[in-house]
Amino acid sequence: MSHVMTVSVEIACRATLIEALKLMGFAEESLRLAEADKKAYVTTYRDQATEYADVVVPKQAYSGYGDFGIDFKEGGKASFILDDLDNVYALPTFLEKQDIPQLKGTMTELLPQWYAAAGAARGMVRAGLKPVFAISDCSELTITANLDEMVTY
C-alpha cells in the first residue's frame, strides 16, 4: 500500500521552480499555483485534499495516484508532498517519456537537480548569454553558453 510522504529540500524561488518543471516536460498551464494568501490543495489517490502547497502538479499531468505538491518553508527550504508510488513509478515513467531519454530517477532526486540547472540558466540569461542544455549518456546535465548568440544590451 502506498502512503503520502514529505521530503525536505532547498528550493526558494517559485519562478525558478516553475522553469525547472517546464524543462522536465510539465506544461505551465497544467500547474495549480497558490494565490498570495491561499495555498493550492494537494489531493491523494482517493481525491481527498489533505495537504496544501504553493505549487501543485495535478495527477492528471502525469497519470499519477495523487497530486505532487511543493510547499515553500522559511529559510529557503521546501517540502515535496507526494505519494511514494508516484515518486518511484508514475513520475519517473512520465519523465522517461519526454524528449530527454536519460532523464531517469525519482522525482525527489531529479527536481532539485533541474531546479539548480534552471537557476544557473536564469543567471546566464541575466548575464546576456544563451544557455544550452545537454545530457550525456551518463545522465549528467551540462549547461553551457552559446557565445554566438550572446544578447547585448
Q: What's the pLDDT tens digit per position in 31-49?
A: 999 998 889 989 877 777 7
Look up the pTM and report it. 0.77
DSSP states of 58-75 as a string? -GGGTT-SS-EEEEE-TT
Mean pLDDT of the chain: 79
- The whole-angstrom separation of Cα 57 and Cα 94 is 12
Cell output for 112? 532539485
Q: What's the pLDDT score for residue 117?
A: 82
| Per-state percent for the chain, helix, strand, coil, to nearest 5 | 35, 30, 35
Please, what sign has the CA dihedral across residues 46, 49, 50, 52? positive
- The whole-angstrom separation of Cα 66 and Cα 46 is 8
- The whole-angstrom separation of Cα 127 and Cα 36 is 30
Query: At residue 153, does pLDDT exceed 90?
Result: no
Query: At residue 61, does pLDDT exceed 80?
Result: yes
